[in-house]
Amino acid sequence: MVTPSEKSWTDGTDACGDPHPSQLTPSEKIWMDGTFVNWNEASVHVLTHSLHYGMGAFEGIRCYRGKNGSIIFRLREHVDRLFESAHIMAMNVPYSRKDVAEAIVETVRINKLESCYIRPLLYVGYGEMGLYPGNNPVKLAIAAWSWGTYLGEDALVHGIRAKVSSFTRHHVNVSMTRAKVSGYYVNSILAKCEAKKAGYDEAILLDTEGYVAEGTGENVFIVSKGVLKTTPLTSILEGITRHSILELAREKNIPVVEERFTRDALYVAEEVFLTGTAAEVAPVREIDDRQIGTGKRGPVTDLLQKAFFDIVKGEDLSHGQWLTPV
């Protein structure tokens, strides 16, 4: 009998060659199709359709411990995007938006988490194999766990080092990037691993025409001659953090445009930062070994990052419609 040895993707390191891979912190229960199951028993059959072909849609949502208790940031928008992803993929969700939003809140509550990251995943279950999913069931799982800073301990203060990827972001007629689809993330994983192996924290991908698109799991902003710019929604995910930052910038009378810009515009920008639920608002201090601006978190990044954290931490109550109490 052959017993293969336990082997990870790369020897002695994690899949990206990181010698200090961080471990997921388990919580107690995971919601699976209407019932809570123990974390260690939240399993699926190995012939689950999505596991083979990547047709699945997911969300990443954060719950913050604020001054007045825990709140989920922009829950409604995340649930809406999950349903839009499913609609674009022609997956029939067997729940209402209200059911899903309630199940998300319940998942945070039952795990007694004060702050956490929440991952709803819609997937095509076991049934037929082959590309046509046939009558396979559409399943939903919701997990929540404690997840600290995504891009490293001091990323939010000192900024990260990024590399423009050798991989191109999705073409509009290859992948419909309004949907947050599991399979699309192979492109992100390749770019992330390439960047990490070369010693950078994150990759920035260009679109098929060579313009800046997005990070592996973040949208990109630059400050150029005092104007805040971000990429238009052609080949990127419509980030909910991106939307929040655009709104906060407008409220603060910072001039804002959504237009394409090039790789060299990144290099000469006064400031660059990335936004995402996991990454939050992260300054970029260096790209392709070129210092960005002063090499420190710039004033616009600082202002918007502070405005964002004041809202999610309950210091600023002016955007109550973005917050769902747990």
Residues forming the site for ligand PPE (CB under 6 A) = 60, 214, 217-219, 236-237, 239-242, 275-279
Tokens of 70: 């825990």
Q: How far is the CB of 218 from ligand PPE (least distance, A)?
A: 5
Instruction: State whether residue 108 is helix, strand or coil.
Output: helix
Residue number, 146 or 296, with CB nearest to ligand PPE: 146
Residue number, 133 or 203, with CB nearest to ligand PPE: 203
> What's the rounded Cα separation, in Å, for the pair 160 and 38?
36
Residue number, 9 or 291, with CB nearest to ligand PPE: 9
Select from 228, 211, 210 the least CA-distant residue to 275: 228
Q: How far is the CB of 22 from ligand PPE (least distance, A)?
A: 12
Per annotation, catalytic residue among 29, 139, 163, 180: 180
Tell me the residue number closest to ligand PPE, measured at CB.
60
Tokens of 300: 């616009």
Q: How far is the CB of 229 from ligand PPE (least distance, A)?
A: 16
> What's the rounded Cα separation, in Å, for the pair 166 and 197?
13
Q: How far is the CB of 184 from ligand PPE (least distance, A)?
A: 7
Residue number, 133 or 162, with CB nearest to ligand PPE: 162
Tokens of 254: 């910072």
Helix axes 97-110 and 75-88, enclosed angle (nearest 10): 130
199 φψ region: left (φ > 0), alpha (ψ -120 to 50), beta (else) = left
Query: Is 180 an annotated catalytic residue?
Result: yes
Residue number, 126 or 309, with CB nearest to ligand PPE: 309
Q: Is residue 272 within 8 Å of 229, Cβ to Cβ? A: no
Residue with the two structure tokens 């997990």: 143
> What's the rounded Cα separation, in Å, for the pair 240 and 316?
19
Dihedral pair phi/psi, residue 128, rounded to 5°:
-85, 155
Dihedral pair phi/psi, residue 15, rounded to 5°:
-60, -25
Q: How far is the CB of 217 from ligand PPE (least distance, A)?
A: 4
Q: Which residues form the catalytic set?
A: 180
